Amino acid sequence: MSSGAPRGLIGVEATDPAQRPPVLVVPDPLTFADVPLLCERLRGLYGAGADLVVCDLAALSRADLAAVEAVARLRLTARRAGRRVRMRGAGAGLVALLELAGLGSDLA
């Protein structure tokens, strides 16, 4: 995905962040070039008032370094914004890689 926005990048389950946190859907396939776009979308959700955003990793078919980079950068983006992010739906292979990288906390 070298041009344009990634397919299926974001889905919002609720428009009112006070009721339910919005969900950022991580696309498959995921490349390193997609990571800044994901972070931009996350900042946009925070700018719209969300304090917590759930990142859905369930669509990822491969556990690779691009996925690890995405998780690390999304968490850093949340920290810099003073907000929270929670990862959900990671497959067993990605969970293992994240744990090896020290990023296994906050997985749902």
Burial of residue 103 (number of CB atoms within 10 Å: 0-12, 13-18, 19+): middle
Output the pLDDT for position 19.
62
Pairing mode, strands 52-56 and 84-88? parallel
In whole angstroms, how far apart are CA 22 and each of 56, 62, 79, 94? 10, 24, 17, 22
pTM of the full structure: 0.84
Residue type, 10: I
For range 28-33, the mean pLDDT: 96
Instruction: Read off the pLDDT of residues 55-74 as tens digits, 9 standing for 90 and up.
Output: 999 999 999 999 999 999 99
